[in-house]
């Protein structure tokens, strides 16, 4: 049976309602909530999964947070990327243990945190943002998860370019990604992975236009819809309301043309509109 | 500029149409396709992103595969888990570098492969399947990606139970997951992460019923819809056809009740139907 | 230019915010609202589309209500059918001018009203509900639209059967439609149209089971998702939140078997699962 | 029991597979199919819902077509409007018995046919299209359903304007609806209903821009997704594939400004983005 240790980041989740507390255990500290007080020392040494009670008699379970939980509890000043989008971004950008990844902007650090978790201690994230307050916020969010060692925050306008070169994975979460495709292309190694998130169709259109001009190929545009269900077995049905939109995900691949004059694919080519879903992959 | 090396797994993707080849480079070998022949030695030493030509004059780009690409190119005998679902499963089960994860069944090994990538060289996946042919297929898929060291395949019926205990993350991709909730609960440490994928509403209903009886709480049921768009900037629009369904994802948390007689939440409790989307998380 | 006449049902919709008033014009009456007072006599004789001002200086447009508007403004005691579902039900049940349609239960009368509009003065709706209060509510909703002549409300439990026979279109909006398939089959003429709306997957499963036993064939199950967009041209994007679920629509056709012993289609038949989307229709 | 009569339009649908035939019964004629021959005289006088057999022994049911069936079986040269969209268009444009409706272009006549059914013998549809071949095709489709009396087809470019004025409902299904908003506004009475269907986001953006300039208010943009389910009760699940997109529906209301200089609502107004879903309707 695994015991809760000092330094662990845990989730205390109410048995009765929707309340959950998410924090790192430090000897001698206490968590004061409107549901009662929890002495960290009383939680340290408990079993994971155990039911404990606040001094007000409220019942809570000690849970290990998932990455989904981390993202939902992050301190934020801006709209953060939703877990539904984060999971797929990690797959599309091949963000695996040991990778170096570059992103801009940092924002509240939600994607930064998920990427830092995914690359592990051998990997690294470099995250650019022009705003100092956002980088400070992201730093605090990373500190709670002990992930600061894996991230370099650079407070700078990326219009000047990225310091990194030969990067395999680069993500832009900025309002005008098309303005930075040149510097993104310079930072990215050929054959790597470019991604961006934009909320409006107008931005998608402008970004697709830009990608064609900057030696990016195989563009993909998609959106992910997540539909939660009520969990009473006798009355299975989707929730009445759902998130209707967060943003459009755009992916593309940087390449070197052997014949730069000839467009790779143009609108008259029926394959121009092809997406990854239809690739005839063969091993 | 990064150069392609022997041992690299690459994707060669056609400049003109939807054809792509996915393979590991080995000196002296050749890839024979209906688009022409590629000598591995001619690809080794090229730059990533470079455009190369088959002996038939067909133009291809050398790309680094994403995890999404790997999943799409896997050899399969059964329906595999889709990338849209894989990405979110990794987040919900906290499958990060260094983790030990247990799954059943192995199937063609798609999820096994993605999990093996995500846990890195310090993590490990134990994957059970009763069918020898499936495990052989999964083994071949893992070999291509050099991931066999991170995976232990166990050919056995899980009705006998899992060998592992205190596991933090366990996933069931079997037709009748409700029959294995007892052994799953025994393998899982408290406070960890349980997940399952089932294609029908009937299975969701039966699984939700079972979770209530086996000390799993906070069930969540959801489905992920992915919508691809055409990528011509002047005519942005969703694809005419999309994948309508792959499966329902079900997640829950194993706990230890302090008061086992009292049901944690029952149908008459308005919070019973709560899902993670509505948790009031606080740091 | 069309002028607003006494007896017209109009919508007054605010120029500035989301407020709208929906009512029938009667000489001498006044509409008192927190946005100011409108004398009916001051509206009668205006042009449709004209901008008028309340005595508080608030600006409103005089609009003709659509059926969508009518459904949204109905007085209700229960969850009403959404316009997205109503439109498709009318098509599937062939509810066209002159038709006789039977429904149960009446509820707040939303579907009753839409069907009464659709069948015109030569058609008729018979609507059953066991609850007197619901039928009174529906009656008031129909009165506002001058549709009472086209509707017969019958306050009765349909377990006793419907009075009508040889009906071409019958719709059940009750929690347990499977209990009434026998009486529904008796009321329906062969080759006609049966429909039902149920909120949960469990109900769909039970209803499909029942349809197979009562000489209904070609079952169809579907749900309709409606996604609204923000309407600022420079920032086109879906609304952040949307309705995630109202109910599952189920349709089927009553027939007479020539060979009753032989099941029409069974589970082993690959065509058993066919839906209307795949019919190979030929003229 | 209702008997099949000469002149009836029926659907013969296979008991065994997905084949269906849709035609009008005329004494002395025969339907020759690869499933066998049906003499019209043998069908006339049968009961609706009856099971009949072709001379090859194939079993079919005699069904009454729904409007959904009619739309699916229409002869077409172009992409037709899908039933899911048609049903909602009829509600939003208040297309009820007795109405006069104007549309352009006619196309294959699918929407024309559904509207002609909905307005009944007292209503009328005027449908414009510049292409003679499309109007001939639409005419043949209307003839099969005996609906030609309710429709006036005008072969003309609508850039010259519509002949009709004070129309309450007008629909544009043309690639560039923004070019015809002036003539549409001239034809429409104030307070009426304008609708359009366009396949791309770019067109939506351009149309929203135009509506703002031509005294149309309360724009709404939406899309309708229809999800079919497999109908085996023991394995309820959505179909594997679904229609991902047909088009965006755009609706707006023509009005007369009392203060034309002042924009009704502009981007800085938070209500500018309001959609019908959020109207606070009051009776």
What number of other Cβ atoms are within 10 A of residue A1's Cβ? 12
Is B1 inside a domain boundary? no
Verify that B214 and B235 share a domain, yes or no.
yes
Over residues B190-208, the mean pLDDT reads 98
Stretch B233-261: mean pLDDT: 92
**Rounded Cα–Cα distance for residues A25 and A22 (Å):** 10
| Predicted pLDDT at A274 | 39
Of C202, C237, C240, the CB nearest to A234: C202
Residues of D in contact with C66 (CB under 8 A): 91-94, 193
In this predicted model, which residue has the larger pLDDT, A279 or B249? Answer: B249
Name the C residues in 95-134 with CB < 8 Å from any D CB: 96-98, 114, 117-122
**Touching C: B residues 175-204, CB under 8 Å:** 201-202, 204
Of the candidates A49, A17, A15, A3, the one whose C-alpha atom is nearest the C-alpha of residue B254 is: A49
pLDDT at residue A283, rounded to an integer: 58
CA distances from A198 to A279, B59, C229, C235, C236 (A): 25, 32, 15, 11, 11
Sheet containing strand C280-282, strands side by side: C280-282, D19-24, D9-14, D59-63, D51-53
For residue C38, the model assigns a pLDDT of 93
Same domain, D122 and D226: yes
Q: Is residue D35 part of a domain?
A: yes
Chain B residues in contact with A76 by the CB 8 A cut-off are none
Same domain, C100 and C149: yes
Q: Check CB contact of B36 with chain A, cutoff 8 Å.
A: no
Candidates D191, D219, D229; nearest CB to C62: D191
Q: What is the mean pLDDT of residues A127-147?
A: 96
pLDDT at position B262 over 70: no
Q: How far apart are the first and last CA of chain A?
A: 44
Cα C99 from Cα C97, distance rounded (Å): 6
Q: Are D191 and D60 found together in one domain? A: no
Q: 3-state DSSP call for residue A69?
A: helix
Mean pLDDT over all residues of chain A? 91
Given a cut of 50, whether residue B120 has pLDDT beyond it is yes
Domain, as residue range, for C61: 9-65
pLDDT in tens, D6-62: 999 999 999 888 889 999 999 999 999 988 999 999 999 999 999 999 889 899 999
The pLDDT confidence band at residue B274, using thresholds 50, 70 and 90, is very low
d(CA D25, CA D146): 12
Higher pLDDT, A189 or A149: A149
All chains having 3 or more CB pairs closer than 8 angstroms to chain C: A, B, D
Q: Which of A112, A118, A174, A98 is nearest to A141 (CA)?
A: A112
Shared domain for B15 and B134, answered yes or no, is no
The answer to whether B281 faces chain C, any CB pair under 8 Å, is no
Given a cut of 70, is residue A196 above it in pLDDT?
Answer: yes
Residue C261 has pLDDT above 50, yes or no: no
Nearest-CA distance from D178 to chain B in Å?
16
Name residues whose C-beta falls within 8 Å of residue D36's C-beta, 6 or more positions apart in sequence.
D54, D55, D56, D57, D58
Residue A4 falls inside a structural domain: no
Name the nearest CA neighbour of D282 among C72, C113, B240, B279: C72
pLDDT of A277 above 80: no
Q: Is the Cβ–Cβ distance between D221 and C236 less than 8 Å?
A: yes
- Report pLDDT for B212: 86
Q: Look at residue C258 and tell me whether its pLDDT is greater than 90.
A: no
Residues in chain B: 283
Give the mean model confidence (pLDDT) for residues B174-192: 97
pLDDT at residue C279, rounded to an integer? 58
Q: In chain A, how many domains are there?
A: 2
pLDDT digits (tens, 9 = 90+) for D218-251: 999 999 999 999 999 999 999 999 999 999 999 9
Burial of D198 (0-12, 13-18, 19+ CB in 10 A): buried
C272: domain CATH number is 3.40.50.150
* pLDDT at residue B18, as a whole number: 80
Q: Is C248 helix (H, G, I), strand (E, B) or coil?
A: strand
Give yes or no: residues D153 and D209 share one domain.
yes
How many residues does this entry show for chain A? 283
Q: Residue A219 pLDDT > 80, yes or no?
A: yes
Does one domain contain both C180 and C111? yes
pLDDT above 90 (res A272): no
pLDDT band, residue A280 (cuts 50/70/90): low
pLDDT, position D167: 97
Cβ-defined contact of C202 to B204 (cutoff 8 Å): no
B200, B201, B221, B229: best mutation site toward chain C, by most C Cβ within 10 Å?
B201
What percent of chain A has a predicted confidence (pLDDT) above 70? 91
CB-CB under 8 Å, B238 with D245: yes
- Output the pTM of the full model: 0.94
The answer to whether the bond into D239 is cis (omega within 30° of 0) is no
pLDDT at C76: 87
C-D contacts (CB, under 8 Å):
371
Q: What is the pLDDT of residue C269?
A: 45
Quick check: is D1 in a domain?
no
Q: Which residues of D touch A202 (CB under 8 A)?
A: 205
B56 touches chain A (CB under 8 A): no
D240–B245 CB contact, under 8 Å: yes
Enumerate residues 6+ apart whose C-beta is below 8 A from B153: B106, B127, B129, B135, B138, B139
Coil vs helix vs strand at C34? coil
Co-location of C135 and C194 in the same domain? yes
Q: Quote the percentage of chain C above a pLDDT of 70.
A: 91
Gap between the Cα atoms of A59 and D106, Å rounded: 66
DSSP letter string over C169-202?
EEEE-SS-GGGGHHHHHHHEEEEEEEEEEESSHH
User: Which residue in this structure is represented by tokens 């089927």?
Assistant: C252
As a 3-state breakdown, chain A gives helix, strand, coil percent values, each rounded to 5, of: 30, 30, 40
Average pLDDT of span C54-82? 91
Per-residue pLDDT, averaged over A62-86, amounts to: 91
Indicate whether this complex's ipTM tops 0.85: yes
The two three-digit tokens of residue C121, written as one number = 């003065």
Q: Are residues A131 and A194 in the same domain?
A: yes
Beta-bridge mates of residue A252:
A194
pLDDT tens readout for residues A34-46: 889 999 999 999 9
pLDDT band at D279 (very low <50, low <70, confident <90, very high): low
Q: Is B241 on the interface with D (CB under 8 A)?
A: yes
Burial, D186: exposed, middle or buried (Cβ in 10 Å; 0-12, 13-18, 19+)? middle
Is residue A1 in some structural domain?
A: no
**Which residue in B has a C-alpha nearest to residue D205's C-alpha?**
B236
Q: What is the pLDDT of residue D192?
A: 96
CA D272 to chain centroid: 29
The CATH number for C40's domain is 3.10.330.20
**Res D263 pLDDT > 70:** no
Same-domain status, D109 and D48 = no
Residues B96, B53 contacting (CB under 8 angstroms): no
Residues of B in contact with D80 (CB under 8 A): none
Strands B9-14 and B59-63 turn out to be antiparallel
A261 domain-assigned: yes
**pLDDT, position A14:** 92
A contacts of D204 (beta carbons < 8 Å): 201
Closest CA to B172 of B102, B119, B115, B96: B102
Q: Which residues of C touch B201 (CB under 8 A)?
A: 201, 204-205
More confident residue, B164 or B35: B164
Report the 10 Å Cβ neighbour count for D223: 19
DSSP string, A17-46: SSEEEEEE--TT-EEEETTEEEEHHHHTTS
Mutate to test the interface with B, among A18, A111, A206 (most CBs of B within 10 A): A18
Contacts of B246 in chain D (CB under 8 A): 240
Q: What's the whole-number mean pLDDT along residues B154-170?
A: 97
In this prediction, what percent of chain D has a pLDDT beyond 90?
80
Q: Give the three-state DSSP class for A206.
A: helix
Does A105 sit behind a cis peptide bond, omega within 30 degrees of 0 on the bond before it?
yes
Query: Does the structure show a pLDDT above 80 at C282?
Result: no
Site from B19, B121, B221 to mutate, A interface, most A CB atoms within 10 angstroms: B221
Report pLDDT digits (tens) over C151-189. 999 999 999 999 999 999 999 999 999 999 999 999 999
C205 in contact with B, Cβ within 8 Å: yes
Question: Does the pLDDT value for residue B267 go beyond 50?
Answer: no
Do A115 and A61 lie in one domain? The reply is: no
Q: Is B258 on the interface with D (CB under 8 A)?
A: no
Q: How far is CA A213 from CA A180, A196, A249, in A?
A: 12, 16, 19
Burial of D125 (0-12, 13-18, 19+ CB in 10 A): buried
Contact (Cβ atoms closer than 8 angstroms) between residue D5 and residue D25: yes
**CB contact (8 A) between residue D205 and residue A204:** no
Collect all residues with Cβ–Cβ distance below 8 Å to D261 and sequence separation of at least 6.
Answer: none
Last residue of a domain, one of D17, D48, D65: D65
> D interface mutation test: which of C3, C42, C90 has the most D CBs within 10 A?
C90
Domain boundary among C18, C37, C65: C65
Of C22, C51, C212, the CB nearest to D283: C22
* Domain-located, residue A42: yes
Proportion of chain B above pLDDT 70, given as a percent: 91
In whole numbers, what is the pLDDT of chain D averaged over residues? Answer: 91
Give C-chain residues touching D280 at CB under 8 angstroms: 18-20
Q: Which of A182-191, A269-278, B88-97 has the lowest mean pLDDT?
A: A269-278
Question: Would B24 be classed as within a structural domain?
Answer: yes
Instruction: State the Cα–Cα distance between residues C42 and C36, nearest whole angstrom.
Output: 13
Contact list in B for residue C201 (CB cut-off 8 A) is 201, 204-205
- Chains touching D (3+ CB pairs < 8 Å): A, B, C
- Phi first, then psi, for residue B35 (nearest 5°) are -95, 0
Cα–Cα distances in Å, from A100 out to A157, A171, A177, B49?
Answer: 20, 12, 20, 18
* pLDDT tens for each residue of D61-97: 999 999 999 998 888 888 889 999 999 999 999 999 9
More confidently predicted of D253 and C268: D253
User: So what's the pLDDT on residue B78?
Assistant: 81
User: Residues B32, B83: one domain?
Assistant: no
């Amino acid at each position: 049976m695994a015991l809760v240790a000092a330094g662990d980041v845990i989730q205390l989740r109410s048995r009765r309602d929707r309340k959950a507390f998410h924090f790192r255990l430090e000897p001698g500290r206490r968590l004061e909530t409107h549901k009662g007080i929890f002495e960290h020392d009383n939680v340290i040494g408990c079993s994971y999964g155990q039911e404990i009670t606040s001094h007000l008699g409220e019942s809570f379970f000690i849970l290990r947070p998932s990455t989904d939980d981390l993202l939902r509890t992050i301190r934020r000043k801006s709209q953060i990327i939703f877990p539904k989008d984060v999971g797929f971004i990690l797959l599309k950008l091949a963000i695996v243990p040991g990778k170096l990844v570059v992103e801009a902007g940092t924002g509240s650090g939600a994607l930064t945190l998920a990427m830092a978790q995914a690359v592990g201690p051998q990997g690294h994230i470099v995250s650019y943002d022009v705003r100092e307050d956002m980088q400070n916020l992201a730093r605090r969010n990373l500190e709670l998860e002990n992930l600061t060692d894996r991230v370099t925050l650079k407070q700078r306008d990326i219009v000047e370019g990225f310091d990194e070169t030969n990067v395999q994975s680069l993500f832009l979460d900025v309002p005008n990604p098309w303005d930075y495709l040149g510097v993104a292309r310079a930072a990215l190694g050929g054959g790597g992975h470019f991604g961006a998130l934009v909320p409006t169709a107008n931005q998608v259109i402008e970004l697709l236009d830009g990608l064609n001009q900057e030696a990016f190929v195989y563009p993909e545009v998609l959106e992910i819809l997540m539909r939660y269900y009520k969990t009473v077995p006798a009355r299975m049905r989707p929730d009445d309301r759902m998130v209707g939109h967060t943003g459009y995900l755009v992916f593309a691949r940087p390449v070197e043309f052997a014949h730069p004059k000839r467009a790779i694919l143009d609108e008259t080519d029926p394959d121009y509109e092809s997406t990854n879903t239809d690739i005839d992959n063969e091993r």
